[in-house]
Amino acid sequence: MTAVLTQPRPIRLKGRSYLALTLTPELPFEDWLVRLDDLASRSAGFFLRRPVVLDVEGLEIDRTQLRDLVGKLGARNVRIMGIEGARPSLLGADLPPAMSGGKATGDIEEPAAAPVREAPAAESVAAQPTAPPPAKAAPASLVITQPVRSGQSFFAEGDVTIIGSVASGAEVIAGGSIHIYGTLRGRAMAGTLGNGAARIFCRKLEAELVAIDGFYRTAEDLEPGLRGKPAQFWLEGETFAAGSLG
Protein backbone atom coordinates (compact mmCIF):
# COMPACT_ATOMS: atom_id res chain seq x y z
CA MET A 1 0.00 0.00 0.00
CA THR A 2 2.69 2.45 1.02
CA ALA A 3 4.70 1.44 -2.02
CA VAL A 4 1.89 2.68 -4.20
CA LEU A 5 1.63 5.96 -2.35
CA THR A 6 5.31 6.72 -2.52
CA GLN A 7 5.50 6.15 -6.25
CA PRO A 8 7.52 9.20 -7.28
CA ARG A 9 6.69 9.34 -10.96
CA PRO A 10 3.51 11.25 -11.77
CA ILE A 11 1.02 9.98 -14.33
CA ARG A 12 1.62 11.53 -17.74
CA LEU A 13 -1.36 13.32 -19.16
CA LYS A 14 -1.25 14.15 -22.84
CA GLY A 15 -3.63 15.68 -25.30
CA ARG A 16 -3.64 14.37 -28.82
CA SER A 17 -5.93 14.93 -31.77
CA TYR A 18 -6.99 12.22 -34.19
CA LEU A 19 -8.93 11.98 -37.37
CA ALA A 20 -12.34 10.38 -36.92
CA LEU A 21 -15.26 9.80 -39.19
CA THR A 22 -18.30 11.84 -38.19
CA LEU A 23 -21.79 10.53 -38.79
CA THR A 24 -24.71 12.98 -38.65
CA PRO A 25 -27.86 10.93 -38.21
CA GLU A 26 -31.19 12.39 -39.31
CA LEU A 27 -34.68 11.76 -38.04
CA PRO A 28 -36.46 9.42 -38.48
CA PHE A 29 -33.59 7.10 -37.64
CA GLU A 30 -35.21 4.12 -39.37
CA ASP A 31 -34.94 5.79 -42.78
CA TRP A 32 -31.47 7.03 -42.07
CA LEU A 33 -30.35 3.54 -41.03
CA VAL A 34 -31.72 2.14 -44.28
CA ARG A 35 -29.57 4.64 -46.21
CA LEU A 36 -26.59 3.73 -44.03
CA ASP A 37 -27.16 0.02 -44.71
CA ASP A 38 -27.29 0.82 -48.40
CA LEU A 39 -23.94 2.60 -48.15
CA ALA A 40 -22.45 -0.25 -46.14
CA SER A 41 -23.71 -2.86 -48.60
CA ARG A 42 -21.73 -1.17 -51.37
CA SER A 43 -18.56 -1.51 -49.38
CA ALA A 44 -18.50 -4.21 -46.79
CA GLY A 45 -16.43 -3.23 -43.82
CA PHE A 46 -16.37 0.49 -44.59
CA PHE A 47 -16.98 1.32 -40.94
CA LEU A 48 -15.18 -1.71 -39.55
CA ARG A 49 -12.62 -0.66 -36.94
CA ARG A 50 -12.88 2.97 -37.93
CA PRO A 51 -13.22 5.51 -35.14
CA VAL A 52 -16.64 7.06 -35.60
CA VAL A 53 -18.08 10.12 -33.86
CA LEU A 54 -21.84 10.65 -33.82
CA ASP A 55 -22.88 14.29 -34.31
CA VAL A 56 -26.35 14.80 -32.84
CA GLU A 57 -26.33 18.61 -32.84
CA GLY A 58 -29.84 19.97 -33.28
CA LEU A 59 -31.59 16.60 -33.05
CA GLU A 60 -34.65 16.55 -30.79
CA ILE A 61 -34.14 13.16 -29.21
CA ASP A 62 -34.10 11.71 -25.72
CA ARG A 63 -31.60 9.42 -24.07
CA THR A 64 -33.54 6.23 -24.88
CA GLN A 65 -33.58 7.09 -28.57
CA LEU A 66 -29.88 7.87 -28.54
CA ARG A 67 -29.01 4.67 -26.69
CA ASP A 68 -31.17 2.74 -29.13
CA LEU A 69 -29.40 4.33 -32.11
CA VAL A 70 -25.94 3.61 -30.67
CA GLY A 71 -27.06 0.00 -30.11
CA LYS A 72 -28.35 -0.35 -33.66
CA LEU A 73 -25.12 1.09 -35.03
CA GLY A 74 -23.18 -1.33 -32.87
CA ALA A 75 -25.15 -4.21 -34.37
CA ARG A 76 -23.92 -2.97 -37.78
CA ASN A 77 -20.30 -3.01 -36.59
CA VAL A 78 -20.22 0.79 -36.38
CA ARG A 79 -18.45 1.51 -33.12
CA ILE A 80 -19.14 4.97 -31.74
CA MET A 81 -16.16 6.42 -29.89
CA GLY A 82 -17.82 9.68 -28.90
CA ILE A 83 -20.85 11.86 -29.27
CA GLU A 84 -20.73 15.46 -30.39
CA GLY A 85 -23.30 18.21 -29.93
CA ALA A 86 -25.36 16.40 -27.29
CA ARG A 87 -26.90 18.12 -24.29
CA PRO A 88 -25.19 16.87 -21.13
CA SER A 89 -28.50 15.41 -19.94
CA LEU A 90 -28.55 13.21 -23.02
CA LEU A 91 -25.38 11.38 -22.10
CA GLY A 92 -25.04 8.82 -19.36
CA ALA A 93 -22.30 6.53 -18.14
CA ASP A 94 -23.55 3.86 -20.52
CA LEU A 95 -23.05 6.05 -23.59
CA PRO A 96 -19.82 7.11 -25.31
CA PRO A 97 -18.28 10.32 -23.93
CA ALA A 98 -19.03 13.81 -25.21
CA MET A 99 -16.64 15.22 -27.79
CA SER A 100 -16.23 18.88 -28.64
CA GLY A 101 -13.91 21.25 -30.44
CA GLY A 102 -13.72 19.09 -33.55
CA LYS A 103 -12.33 20.67 -36.67
CA ALA A 104 -13.57 19.85 -40.16
CA THR A 105 -11.17 18.24 -42.59
CA GLY A 106 -11.77 17.17 -46.17
CA ASP A 107 -14.85 15.03 -46.72
CA ILE A 108 -14.18 11.34 -46.74
CA GLU A 109 -15.10 9.80 -50.07
CA GLU A 110 -18.15 7.63 -49.98
CA PRO A 111 -17.18 4.19 -51.27
CA ALA A 112 -18.25 3.77 -54.88
CA ALA A 113 -19.84 0.60 -56.23
CA ALA A 114 -18.05 -2.68 -55.57
CA PRO A 115 -14.38 -2.11 -56.33
CA VAL A 116 -13.26 -3.42 -59.66
CA ARG A 117 -10.49 -5.96 -59.46
CA GLU A 118 -8.70 -5.46 -62.76
CA ALA A 119 -6.43 -2.49 -63.18
CA PRO A 120 -8.47 0.48 -64.31
CA ALA A 121 -7.66 2.43 -67.47
CA ALA A 122 -5.18 5.22 -67.07
CA GLU A 123 -7.82 7.86 -67.82
CA SER A 124 -10.09 6.81 -65.04
CA VAL A 125 -7.19 6.85 -62.62
CA ALA A 126 -6.57 10.49 -63.51
CA ALA A 127 -10.24 11.28 -63.08
CA GLN A 128 -10.38 9.73 -59.63
CA PRO A 129 -9.70 12.32 -56.98
CA THR A 130 -7.06 10.25 -55.31
CA ALA A 131 -5.70 12.09 -52.35
CA PRO A 132 -1.97 12.69 -52.77
CA PRO A 133 0.12 12.01 -49.67
CA PRO A 134 -0.39 15.18 -47.67
CA ALA A 135 2.55 17.54 -47.83
CA LYS A 136 3.98 18.12 -44.38
CA ALA A 137 2.59 21.63 -43.87
CA ALA A 138 3.74 23.71 -40.91
CA PRO A 139 1.23 23.34 -38.10
CA ALA A 140 -1.07 26.30 -37.70
CA SER A 141 0.05 28.77 -35.07
CA LEU A 142 -2.12 31.24 -33.25
CA VAL A 143 -1.58 34.84 -32.12
CA ILE A 144 -4.04 36.21 -29.57
CA THR A 145 -4.01 39.98 -29.13
CA GLN A 146 -6.43 40.13 -26.19
CA PRO A 147 -6.20 38.89 -22.62
CA VAL A 148 -7.32 35.27 -22.26
CA ARG A 149 -10.19 35.44 -19.78
CA SER A 150 -11.14 32.97 -17.08
CA GLY A 151 -13.10 30.10 -18.60
CA GLN A 152 -11.65 30.57 -22.08
CA SER A 153 -9.53 27.91 -23.74
CA PHE A 154 -7.38 28.25 -26.85
CA PHE A 155 -5.68 25.52 -28.86
CA ALA A 156 -3.38 25.52 -31.84
CA GLU A 157 -1.35 22.69 -33.34
CA GLY A 158 1.63 25.01 -33.66
CA ASP A 159 2.84 27.79 -31.38
CA VAL A 160 0.51 30.03 -29.43
CA THR A 161 1.51 33.63 -28.76
CA ILE A 162 -0.52 35.79 -26.41
CA ILE A 163 -0.08 39.54 -26.30
CA GLY A 164 -1.74 39.97 -22.93
CA SER A 165 -2.29 37.90 -19.82
CA VAL A 166 -3.79 34.46 -19.25
CA ALA A 167 -6.27 34.70 -16.37
CA SER A 168 -6.74 32.34 -13.49
CA GLY A 169 -9.10 29.61 -14.71
CA ALA A 170 -8.15 30.10 -18.37
CA GLU A 171 -6.06 27.66 -20.41
CA VAL A 172 -3.83 27.75 -23.45
CA ILE A 173 -2.93 24.50 -25.19
CA ALA A 174 -0.39 24.24 -27.98
CA GLY A 175 1.20 21.53 -30.05
CA GLY A 176 4.28 23.74 -30.10
CA SER A 177 5.57 26.39 -27.70
CA ILE A 178 3.60 29.00 -25.78
CA HIS A 179 4.72 32.63 -25.54
CA ILE A 180 2.89 34.92 -23.15
CA TYR A 181 3.71 38.63 -23.22
CA GLY A 182 1.84 39.25 -20.00
CA THR A 183 1.15 37.42 -16.77
CA LEU A 184 0.44 33.70 -16.83
CA ARG A 185 -2.10 33.08 -14.06
CA GLY A 186 -3.98 30.14 -15.57
CA ARG A 187 -2.76 26.98 -17.29
CA ALA A 188 -0.35 26.59 -20.16
CA MET A 189 0.17 23.22 -21.83
CA ALA A 190 2.80 23.10 -24.56
CA GLY A 191 3.97 20.28 -26.82
CA THR A 192 0.71 18.41 -26.31
CA LEU A 193 1.01 16.60 -29.65
CA GLY A 194 4.13 14.86 -28.41
CA ASN A 195 6.69 17.61 -28.86
CA GLY A 196 9.19 17.42 -26.01
CA ALA A 197 11.19 20.32 -27.44
CA ALA A 198 8.34 22.78 -26.88
CA ARG A 199 8.78 25.51 -24.28
CA ILE A 200 6.64 27.88 -22.29
CA PHE A 201 7.67 31.51 -21.89
CA CYS A 202 5.90 34.18 -19.86
CA ARG A 203 6.70 37.70 -18.78
CA LYS A 204 5.36 37.16 -15.27
CA LEU A 205 4.77 33.79 -13.65
CA GLU A 206 1.69 33.26 -11.47
CA ALA A 207 0.64 30.01 -13.15
CA GLU A 208 -1.80 27.43 -11.81
CA LEU A 209 -0.32 24.69 -13.96
CA VAL A 210 2.29 24.34 -16.66
CA ALA A 211 2.82 21.22 -18.76
CA ILE A 212 5.09 20.16 -21.62
CA ASP A 213 4.46 16.96 -23.55
CA GLY A 214 2.41 15.59 -20.70
CA PHE A 215 4.85 16.36 -17.90
CA TYR A 216 3.33 18.92 -15.62
CA ARG A 217 3.92 21.08 -12.57
CA THR A 218 1.22 22.67 -10.45
CA ALA A 219 1.63 26.03 -8.71
CA GLU A 220 2.71 24.28 -5.51
CA ASP A 221 5.59 22.49 -7.22
CA LEU A 222 6.90 25.53 -9.04
CA GLU A 223 10.11 27.08 -7.77
CA PRO A 224 9.04 29.85 -5.42
CA GLY A 225 11.90 32.04 -6.58
CA LEU A 226 10.37 32.33 -10.03
CA ARG A 227 6.96 33.52 -8.89
CA GLY A 228 6.15 36.98 -10.18
CA LYS A 229 9.18 36.97 -12.49
CA PRO A 230 9.76 36.38 -16.19
CA ALA A 231 10.19 32.61 -16.60
CA GLN A 232 10.52 29.76 -19.05
CA PHE A 233 9.93 26.01 -18.87
CA TRP A 234 11.37 23.19 -20.93
CA LEU A 235 12.05 19.48 -20.75
CA GLU A 236 15.45 17.93 -20.17
CA GLY A 237 14.80 14.35 -21.10
CA GLU A 238 11.96 13.51 -18.76
CA THR A 239 12.71 16.18 -16.19
CA PHE A 240 10.80 19.37 -16.04
CA ALA A 241 13.12 22.37 -15.98
CA ALA A 242 12.35 25.96 -15.09
CA GLY A 243 14.45 29.08 -15.28
CA SER A 244 14.24 32.83 -15.22
CA LEU A 245 14.26 34.86 -18.38
CA GLY A 246 16.36 37.86 -19.18
Residue closer to other proteins by CB (options 183, 195) is 183
Q: Is 102 one of the binding residues for other proteins (CB under 8 A)?
A: no
Rounded Cα–Cα distance for residues 154 and 142 (Å): 9
Rounded Cα–Cα distance for residues 76 and 40 (Å): 9
Q: Is 168 one of the binding residues for other proteins (CB under 8 A)?
A: yes
Dihedral angle computed from the Cα positions of residues 9, 160, 206 and 241, in that order, rounded to the nearest 10 degrees: 40
CB of 165 to other proteins, least distance (A): 7
Tell me the three state secondary structure of residue 125.
Answer: helix
Q: Is 167 one of the binding residues for other proteins (CB under 8 A)?
A: yes
Among 71, 74, 92, 151, binds other proteins (CB under 8 A): 151
Q: Is 218 one of the binding residues for other proteins (CB under 8 A)?
A: no
Stretch that binds other proteins, among 3-11, 92-100, 103-111, 142-150 (CB under 8 A): 142-150
Q: Is 228 one of the binding residues for other proteins (CB under 8 A)?
A: no
Report whether 184 contacts 4 (CB < 8 A): no
Question: Between 63-75 and 29-42, two packed helices, what is the crossing angle to 10 degrees?
Answer: 20
Report whether 213 contacts 15 (CB < 8 A): no
Among 53, 83, 84, 185, binds other proteins (CB under 8 A): 185
What is each CA distance from 152 to 35, 88, 191, 210, in whole angstroms?
Answer: 40, 19, 19, 16
Among 146, 194, 221, 244, binds other proteins (CB under 8 A): 146
Among 25, 47, 80, 165, binds other proteins (CB under 8 A): 165
Strand partners, 189: 173, 211
Q: Is 74 one of the binding residues for other proteins (CB under 8 A)?
A: no
Report whether 174 contacts 198 (CB < 8 A): yes
Residue closer to other proteins by CB (options 172, 235) is 172
Among 51, 102, 139, 147, binds other proteins (CB under 8 A): 147
Interacting residues with other proteins (CB under 8 A):
146-147, 149-152, 164-165, 167-170, 183, 185
